Amino acid sequence: MIGIILTQLISVIAVTAAFSAYTLSTSLKEQVIAGLEAACKSYAQVLAFSEASENTNSDNLETNMHKDTGFHYTFFEGDTRKRSSIDGVIGTKANDAVITEVLKNGKSYESAKVDIKGESYYVAYEPVRIDNQIIGMAFVGKKNSEIAHIINTRINLTVAVSLLVMMLSMIASVIYVLRIVKAIKDNVDAVNVLAEGNLSIQLSDKTMRRTDELGTMSHSLLRMADKLKGVIGNASTTADNLKDSADSLSSAGQIISTTAENVSSAVDQVAIGATNQAQSLQDAVSNVERINDAIDLIGESTDQMNDLSESMQANSEISADALNELKTASSDTSEAIDDIVGLIGNTNTAVASISEAVQIIDSIAAQTNLLSLNASIEAARAGDAGKGFSVVANEIRTLADQSASAAKDIQEVMQTLTSDSTKTMDAAHMVQEAVQNQQLTIRRTIENVNVLIENIGESVELTSQIVKNASDSKEATHVFAETIQNLSAISEENAASSEETRSAMTELSETVNQLATKASELDTLSGGLEKEMAFFHA
């Protein structure tokens, strides 16, 4: 088990370390490229500013930036290196691919492998623009050997940490597996003790305190031993009770035999009473027939009352349906008005939002106008160099004035729309209140009609019950008469059955004797059960 766990652990850590090294290498390369691109863009902006300002001293710019960042910087005037932190490259030209992409197309250029004086570099190029004219290129690069050294250092550190984690995990796994093996051995020993019939098993405290399946198994073994103790104790007690029950069953058989003889004597007396009962039942049949005639008269009257009640209920239900349809139509109208009120409210909210937006536009237009004025002043200070900027500032001022005028017109329209919407909202609220009053009146009318329908329904139900009870009574009298006649016949049959009962009691006596024999056999089986239970001991 230890070998399997160690093999799997080593495999997982090896794969993880290899994947981490690959991911780290890729990530560092991507970070270098991203850093070069960002640095090159910033360097291009600095160059544009320094070249545009003739009094700026930038002779040592690239060397200083190299010391601060570790990247190499080069300024190309056109396609020729003018300044650079790389020794011996000033005056050389860029390759054709860089010239085409950066100087001619005005785009960025990045590469992970560019040869400069026999040294491979990660590089990034950016065009340098002054007044939208490309005057040269900005170059930022770093030697591949330096990047490879950084990556290898990081990978070696990752592998070392992975090996350390692997060793610690192996040690922890071995200790954990040894504890599991010890717990398994304790449980196996306990099972072997149970197999020998000894229910007094013991397990170590460490195994009992485990919270995994082995700990659960140890607790289950102890519960099983306790359960077996209870079951075996109950089985022993049951065997004793079984023996006592067999003895009691034998005694009860003798009592039943004596009782059977007494029942035979009582059956003779029942036969005499059944003959007298048959005559009394014939007299009862005549009385039931007179009751049946009276029930027929009640049934005819209740049928007429039932027809009248059903007609009243049908008319009431038609009225209720009509009122419910009116209620539904009124509810639909109320919902439509509520929707209209909601839409008007939404319109008011939207108008308020538009007004706020227009105020913001007006504020922006004012600020823009102020900015254009400041720009005109600066352009005037710049003289001829600021004429183009002055034209742009005038156009911006014109647009700001137009925006302010349009914002004012929109605010006037919004005020008119808000006033009309408020009036519409007031009218909608008046209609809504009228519809609600109408719904209240309809609801009260429906409640009154429902009470009337309920009362009529109760009347119909009571009438139906009377009709049903009269019909049931009539049927009951017929059934009662038939039952009495059947009882008379049964009484006569009882007299004949008494003799058969006497014969059955004789057979019962014989059955009781057989039962006593089975009770003796049951006593023998209980003794065998006690011997089997003696195998287990606490």
Question: For residue 123, what are the β-bridge partners?
Answer: 111, 141
Please, which contacts does 224-229 make with residues 24 or more away whose CB atoms are closer than 8 Å?
Answer: 224/194, 225/194, 225/199, 225/200, 225/201, 228/194, 228/199, 228/536, 229/199, 229/538
CA atoms within 13 A on the CB side of 536: 21
Note the pLDDT of residue 267: 54
Note the pLDDT of residue 33: 87
Note the pLDDT of residue 263: 56
Tell which residue, 256, 266, 260, has the closest CA to residue 504: 260
Assess whether pLDDT exceeds 70 at residue 538: no
CA 142, CA 146: separation in Å to the nearest integer? Answer: 7
Is the separation of the CB atoms in 460 and 309 below 8 Å?
A: yes
Model's pTM, two decimal places? Answer: 0.33
The four Cα atoms 121, 127, 128, 130 give a dihedral, to 10 degrees, of: 180
Max mean pLDDT range (6-20, 78-92, 162-176):
78-92
Cα four-point dihedral sign 144, 146, 149, 150? negative
Note the pLDDT of residue 37: 92
Note the pLDDT of residue 404: 84
Q: How far is CA 72 from CA 62, 64, 147, in A?
A: 7, 10, 13
- Cβ burial 85-123 (10 Å sphere, 16+ → b, else e): bbeeeeeeebeeebbebbbeeeebbbbeebebeeebbbb
> Six-digit token pair at 218?
């140890």
Tens of pLDDT, residue by residue over 31-58, are: 888 889 999 999 999 998 888 876 556 7
Distance from first CA to last CA of the chain, Å, rounded? 36
Is the separation of the CB atoms in 435 and 340 below 8 Å?
A: no
* Three-state secondary structure string covering 101-160: HHHHCCCCEEEEEEEECCEEEEEEEEEEEECCEEEEEEEEEEEHHHHHHHHHHHHHHHHH
CA 25, CA 29: separation in Å to the nearest integer? Answer: 6
Note the pLDDT of residue 56: 59
> Six-digit token pair at 513?
């004797």
DSSP 293-343: HHHHHHHHHHHHHHHHHHHHHHHHHHHHHHHHHHHHHHHHHHHHHHHHHHH
**Phi, psi angles (nearest 5°) of residue 95:** -75, 165
Q: How far is CA 26 from CA 20, 38, 114, 311, in A?
A: 10, 18, 19, 92
Range of weakest confidence among 102-116, 337-351, 403-417: 337-351
Tens of pLDDT, residue by residue over 280-306, are: 667 766 765 775 776 577 477 667 767
Tell which residue, 461, 472, 473, has the closest CA to residue 305: 461
Tens of pLDDT, residue by residue over 83-138, are: 999 999 999 999 999 999 999 999 999 998 888 888 999 999 999 999 889 999 99
Note the pLDDT of residue 340: 63
Note the pLDDT of residue 350: 77
